[in-house]
Structure 1
């Protein structure tokens, strides 16, 4: 279960990222609560999320090309250092009580640009850290578990700290947590970076990647599912502060509990996928989990009881992560090796890029019809959007079956391909 940790570089990466991700989730909860406390505006909650994630939509494909061209280790040192500077600046503004909403929007946009390059590079960098290639799938599964464990722990701690000392300390803790990941990067012993002698122009590489991804129906379908899930489903996290304060009549700790319940469900989903040894049947699982996710959001939107809301958040987190990671697994299995980076950057763009658009739309709609009906509509759209995929599933399965045969993963799936998923973490998804 933890065999990838035998590789020293990956072990350093795992520990450093684990500490930093807890800080990242603490800052995210603190920032959401701060914005809603300062403005009482659901629209501005969506606007902050939009400004932090739209750069991934615009820059994601270019970042994927950059991740294949430059030394990934050095790129990550730069991106993590800049993220630490961003968090430190935000912490100073909050702790000195000089923070204004435009500061939050501007600094969120800066972090979005940094993350656009960090996410693509970090996904590709994992392959350099594992000494045995057969352990790569295990490393990816551990990454997902680490991400969702941080998602469980971070919001819970943040909710308690905000209730006692305010949002600024949470953001300061996040800034300090970057020391761990920077130290882990600097302690690694890596092979010297070798630049490819012949490289195609960035624009031509992008064009080839788009033609390949969207010209093959199974890949196109999987990326479309991720985009729709991110567009209609991800806004639920933006609306949670409103549910925590105005519907469940709680405080920041209630928000932390809701996010923690969602994280616990996502962690359970990641462990469920990590135990699978076959990609066969994931198509049906995607259909079922999308329906579970959408139904949970609809039920949550009408809940006024904290216990019931926590249970529904757990189911929604489970359905969300299994849907996302299953799409990732299938993509990793059927994509050609020489186009893997570009296809996965499109996956990351669909995941991170559509979320801010959905957040802005959900925030604007909620201002007019209320958060309850808005979230119910989001859940319904999630459940309905999977219908075309479910109808075309037999045809798509016929298209990917020759790939399975060529790779030797049918009738029995090779161990090395088990659960080659959860690469995003994406920040959201990854």
Structure 2
């Protein structure tokens, strides 16, 4: 039976994608809530970045645990804890009881659990569908994530007409609760091999975080892919600027912000379809560099746009190429390492991409000090330079494909 049609894969993508949907709701609701409360892009970026501060330090541990213990157990435990934190965040916002303070506390806890979970959840895709269907497994996951990113903000915008309508914040724990149910069913039905469930009992195999870092550094291709992944910092730098662009430049308010978020996600949804259909074209280092160049050009023109329709079109194009860039980097990092290092390498990847949280802060700060256009221009140029330098410096990387 095709593993993509199996009950286990259905449960896995349901749990993963509904959890992601909760993050989509969080991004839209909390970012707009903070902007309305503080009128500061810096505060929007700072608070949105809080989970990433913890994921940066916790993801290597999560990768180590994914190499040593049952991934489905880690996945279920983290899903339950995340639901609890999102529930508390919604309660304190609705009660208007020091909401920003408790958002910060809950986001800190969410960051810890995300760091512990993310490697297990991504490598479970490989465990369930196998190497042969890995591209399809990742692409289906990203397609559904993109679909939810497209529809989620629009659906929320229908109900979220004012920050006083705080009952809508309970949509965050609601979708996480369904995610927990799917993760529990996966825990029941997924039969792990003895090697998968008893990894921590293996003798003579060094599964320390340090050894995983050394292994990643010694591999030229893994090292370069992690460097390129770090440039997601500059994607993050643009995110706290989008609600301000929607409100002040385009004059479209909260509904316009939702539309812009959905546009980028719609492009990502199309990209997720294109990737497995044209895997031979995209699953290589040339594609990684080309996608980031096109994305950066689109981003620059987006910063100059004063038309909501042109902005939507540009974000659709940008979302298409950015999701291909992200997914191909991840797929290569899942397939290059040997079995004993997959968890820690993917854990390092999810540590590195938390740089987008630092980008939130940097983008918000620069947006207020040097302006939106200048900030986005910087965010467009630097990733291109980094990719071109890495591509030119390594013959191994230039010939990399999977």
TM-score, scaled relative to structure 1: 0.85
Q: Which moved more, 1:132-141 or 1:67-76?
A: 132-141
Structure 2: distance between partners of 1:207 and 1:216: 15
- 2:91 aligned residue: 92
Any gaps of 5 or more consecutive residues in structure 1? Answer: 405-416, 418-430
After alignment, is 99-108 or 299-308 more displaced? 99-108
Summarize deviations over 1:152-197 as a string: whole Å, max 9, x none.
1112222222226756333201211122222222223132663233
Alignment of 1:175 onto 2:173: yes
Cα distance, 1:119 vs structure 2: 0.9
Equivalent residue, structure 1, for 2:191: 191
Aligned to 1:364: 365
Q: Is the 8 A contact 2:281 2:287 kept in 1?
A: no
Write out per-residue CA displacement over residues 327-365 of structure 1, whole angstroms, 9 at most, x where no aligned residue. Answer: 2232233322221111111111111x2111122112222
Kept in 2, the 8 Å contact 1:162–1:253? The answer is no
Q: Does residue 347 of structure 1 match 2:349?
A: yes
Counterpart in the other structure of 2:266: 264
Q: Quick one: structure 1 residues 199 and 294, their matched pair in 2 at CA, closer, same or farther if it must change by over 3 Å? A: farther
- State the 1:199 CA deviation: 4.7
1:25-424 alignment, distance < 5 Å:
25-130=24-129, 134-163=132-161, 168-188=166-186, 189-191=189-191, 194-196=197-199, 197-199=201-203, 205-228=208-231, 230-278=232-280, 282-351=284-353, 353-392=354-393, 394-397=395-398
Aligned residues: 396
Is the 2:282–2:288 contact (alpha carbons within 8 Å) kept by the matching residues of 1?
A: no
SS in 2 for 1:278: helix
After superposing the two structures, state which structure 1 stretch, 269-278 or 82-91, moved more: 269-278
Whole-angstrom distance in 2 between the partners of 1:96 and 1:23: 20
Contact 1:299–1:376 at 8 Å: present in 2 too? no
Equivalent position SS for 2:161: helix
Give the superposition deviation at 1:200.
Answer: 6.3
Q: Is the 8 A contact 2:283 2:328 kept in 1?
A: no
Whether the 8 Å CA contact 1:94–1:167 is kept in 2: the answer is no
| Superposition RMSD in Å | 2.4
Q: Which moved more, 1:97-106 or 1:109-118?
A: 97-106
C-alpha spacing 1:329/1:18, structure 2 compared with 1 (3 Å)? closer
Q: Return closer, same or farther for 1:254/1:46 CA change in 2, 3 Å cut-off.
A: same
Q: How far did residue 393 of structure 1 move?
A: 5.2
1:330–1:190 Cα change, 3 Å:
closer
C-alpha deviation, 1:282, in angstroms:
2.0
Note if contact 2:391-2:397 (Cα within 8 Å) is conserved in structure 1.
Answer: no
For the residues of structure 2 that align with 1:332 and 1:76, how far apart are their CA atoms? 18
Structure 1 pair 112–280 and aligned structure 2 pair: CA distance change class (3 A): closer
Retained in 1: the 8 A contact 2:239–2:363?
no
Is the 8 Å Cα contact of residues 159 and 255 (structure 1) preserved in structure 2? no
The alpha carbon displacement at 1:138 in A equals 2.5
Bigger drift between 138-147 and 113-122 goes to 138-147
Contact 1:50–1:360 (Cα < 8 Å) also in 2: yes
1:247 and 1:325 map into 2 onto residues whose CA distance is 32
Kindly indicate whether the alpha-carbon contact (under 8 Å) linking 1:261 and 1:311 is maintained by their aligned counterparts in 2: yes
Tell me what 1:414 maps to: none
Cα pair distance change 1:13/1:7, threshold 3 Å: same
TM-score with structure 2 setting the length:
0.91
